[in-house]
Structure 1
Amino acid sequence: MISLIQILLVLIVLINLGFLFYFIRDLAHYWGDVMSEPATTWALPFSSFIIFLLSTFGISDFAISTALYPKVHWTSIKKLPGTLNTQCVVPVAAMALSYITAITVDIKTLAICIIAAVIGAYIGPRFVVKLPVAIIKKFITAGLIIAALMILAGKLNWIPSNGTATSLSGWKLILTAVLLFIYGALNNIGIGSYALTMATVYAMGLNPSAAFPIMMGAATFSVSTSSIQFIKLQDYSRKITLFTSTFGVLGVLVAVFFVKSLDTAMLQWLVIIVLVYSAVSMIWSMRKPSEA
């Protein structure tokens, strides 16, 4: 008899094959433009590897990339939300396939949470591509601040992680589904959903072992869904996505199979400082035109 874990893994593979179909077709059609994009070809393999190696240990790839890419002018602010989504699809799938080895959560809870996140992710890109750059900058600034606060909350143990429940029902399930719908949509404007989902399911009293499939499943399916939309809308960096889909996966595999543990304590403080600095820089860049 096919188990729930096998069904979930097959679905992860299928939705990522769907993403790869659209991505490879888009690459083939615009290949002449890919290598002329501004991201530095020699540096991308290293950045992709490091970003997703650290992401495997819980340091948000959305946060690091948001702090890095505008500073080095690898992609425009307009294309940053789409790039953040498309670049992480394949590496996140590699994480999910590597880490989801057991499911201790109620099937109804898992399905509703994942579906809610996917719906939010599907709807979001259609609105994001129409937003002015100034509005996107504001959302990205908010995302940087939220990411810094979430890392800080984890370090100071403000996020509870000692729940015992394996299912949600009633108002808790409804509220969680609504929040995951919002998080799926927020992915599309550059605000990573993984840490927010983790905080939510922990706050609802779920056991960490039950919370993990929801977090990983929601992230995997939502970014795949939104990324297909961004590809259709031509609103992402093909070059960055190409490199992260190869070298980023290598970073994940090295983290999973070779680096069994990593002391991220100091790195997390450094990331918090970088995120706050990047948020302040973004705010300053928004003030300059009005002053001029």
Structure 2
Amino acid sequence: MVTIVLSLIVLVNGIFAIRFIQDLIAHKGEVMKEPGNNIFLSISSACIFFLSTFGVSDFAISTILYRKKKLVSDKKLPGTLNTQCVIPVAVMALAYISVIKVEPVTLIVCILAQVIGAYIGPRFVVKLEPKVIRKFISIGLLVAAMFILAGKFNLVPSGGNASGLSGVKLIIAAIAIFIYGALNNIGIGSYSLTMATVYALGLNPAIAFPIMMGACTFAVPIGSMQFIKYGEYSRKITLFTAIFGVAGVLCAVYLVKSLNVSMLQWVIAAVLIYSSISMILEDRKMKKNA
């Protein structure tokens, strides 16, 4: 079952890679003339996707960086954010699913739940108020981080070491991750939410990584090919992230693999707090702009 998942990842992302290479060849005279210093893009790509591998949003970091450096217009920013992460996320998924032990049924159910949520979710989430959802989620993430830290200081029982779920817990995980997939459509990332859910259900914290990356690597390439079709993305940035972003990913995957559960709990707590504070600050910024 895991081999089938890995094969499908290669197939879906391989189709994207072919489309991207064809587009690069068709515009080979324009690519390197696009904005962005080569050395800067090499270093920034590696750093962005090193952090992304730990669950820190590459969308958020890239948006700030590219706007500040004026590397891409606002019109092409959404396409660039999507296309640049396809190859690095595919490598994340392949690496994590290969090196982190997770029961196949749990992995496949969770991946399918998020992909289905991302596909049918828009018809429901468009009726929701994003700022209200962000407020509740930011508080929830802080609470989840506090529980992890309380466990670290032996104030409450700490998370588990299970490699899979069954019965009611698997159903809860599937429903939760389905919802997270839908929330992606209104700009609420699923990484930190998946981390908190996996931890709360007693799984090894590392299992959050193959689930998160596995779901994203199916959902992102399909939409990204539309941006390539209409040329609404930065070819240069996407090229550099496909090369140097992968290098950052591989460094981070090695670290996650070598970290023990105790260290991963600290990492996850830090990501949850970061995600929560980011949402709170974003909400305040939106209110100020309004």
Whole-angstrom distance in 2 between the partners of 1:56 and 1:258: 10
Match of residue 28, structure 1, among 18, 25, 44? 25
Code of the aligned partner of 1:223: V
The alignment covers a number of residue pairs equal to 273
Q: Displacement, 1:14?
A: 1.8
| 2:251 equivalent in structure 1 | 254
The answer for unaligned runs of 5 or more in structure 2 is 152-157
**Counterpart contact for 1:94–1:249, Cα < 8 Å:** yes
Q: Does 1:279 align with 2:282?
A: yes
Whole-angstrom distance in 2 between the partners of 1:161 and 1:33: 51
Whole-angstrom distance in 1 between the partners of 2:249 and 2:11: 20
Whole-angstrom distance in 2 between the partners of 1:43 and 1:144: 35
Whole-angstrom distance in 1 between the partners of 2:28 and 2:284: 34
**Counterpart contact for 2:134–2:279, Cα < 8 Å:** no
Whole-angstrom distance in 1 between the partners of 2:143 and 2:34: 35
Percent identical among aligned pairs is 51
Cα distance change on mapping 1:33 and 1:179 into 2, 3 Å: farther
Q: Displacement, 1:92?
A: 1.9
| 1:135 equivalent in structure 2 | none
Cα distance change on mapping 1:44 and 1:212 into 2, 3 Å: closer
Q: Does 1:75 align with 2:72?
A: yes
Q: Displacement, 1:221?
A: 2.2
Cα distance change on mapping 1:43 and 1:35 into 2, 3 Å: same
RMSD of aligned alpha carbons: 4.5
**Counterpart contact for 1:176–1:201, Cα < 8 Å:** yes
Q: Displacement, 1:211?
A: 4.5
**Counterpart contact for 1:116–1:178, Cα < 8 Å:** yes
Task: Give the structure-1-normalised TM-score.
Answer: 0.68
Task: Give the structure-2-normalised TM-score.
Answer: 0.69
Whole-angstrom distance in 2 between the partners of 1:143 and 1:70: 23
1:198-227 CA distance string (max 9 Å, x none): 223333444446544323321322223333
| 1:290 equivalent in structure 2 | none
| 2:155 equivalent in structure 1 | none
Q: Displacement, 1:64?
A: 2.0
**Counterpart contact for 2:55–2:271, Cα < 8 Å:** no
SS of corresponding position for 1:74? coil
Cα distance change on mapping 1:63 and 1:111 into 2, 3 Å: same
| 2:148 equivalent in structure 1 | 157
